[in-house]
Amino acid sequence: MDLHRLQEELRRTRRDLLLLYEIGNLIRSTLLFDEVLYLVLSAVTSHQGLGFNRAIVFMVDDGGTQLEGCMAIGPTHPEASPSVWKAIEENKITLEGLLDVYHKSNKRIDPELNRLIQPIRIPIERAFGALASAVIHDRPALVHTADVNHELTDLKLRSLGISQFMVVPLRGKDRVIGVLMVDNVTTRKEMKDADLERLVMLANHAGLAIENAKTYTNAVVSSQQDSLTKLWNHGHFQRMLTDAMGEARRSEEALSLIVFDVDDFKSYNDTYGHPAGDQALEEIARIAKSALRRSDNLARYGGEEFAAVLPGTTKAEAVKMAERLRSMIWQNSERSNTARRRLSVSIGVSTYPDDAEDKDKLIFCADGALYEAKRQGKNQVRAYLRAAAQPLHE
Q: Which residues are catalytic?
A: 304
Measured CA to CA, the distance from residue 260 to residue 374 in angstroms comes to 10
> Residue type at 390?
Q
Measured CA to CA, the distance from residue 214 to residue 226 in angstroms comes to 20
Measured CA to CA, the distance from residue 153 to residue 132 in angstroms comes to 10
Cα-flanking dihedrals φ and ψ of residue 244, to 5°? -65, -35
Q: Are 149 and 180 in contact (CB under 8 A)?
A: no
Burial class (CB in 10 A: 0-12, 13-18, 19+), 78: middle
Measured CA to CA, the distance from residue 217 to residue 211 in angstroms comes to 10
HEC states along the chain? Answer: CCHHHHHHHHHHHHHHHHHHHHHHHHHCCCCCHHHHHHHHHHHHHCCCCCCCCEEEEEEECCCCCEEEEEEEECCCCCCCCCHHHHHHHHCCCCHHHHHHHHHHCCCCCCHHHHHHHCCCEEECCHHHHHHHHHHHHCCCEEECHHHHHHHCCCHHHHCCCCCCEEEEEEECCCCEEEEEEEECCCCCCCCCHHHHHHHHHHHHHHHHHHHHHHHHHHHHHHHCECCCCCCECHHHHHHHHHHHHHHHHHHCCCEEEEEEEECCHHHHHHHHCHHHHHHHHHHHHHHHHHHCCCCCEEEEEECCEEEEEEECCCHHHHHHHHHHHHHHHHHHHHHCCCCCCCCCEEEEEEEECCCCCCHHHHHHHHHHHHHHHHHCCCCCEEECCCCCCCCCCC
| Total Cβ atoms within 10 A of residue 114 | 18
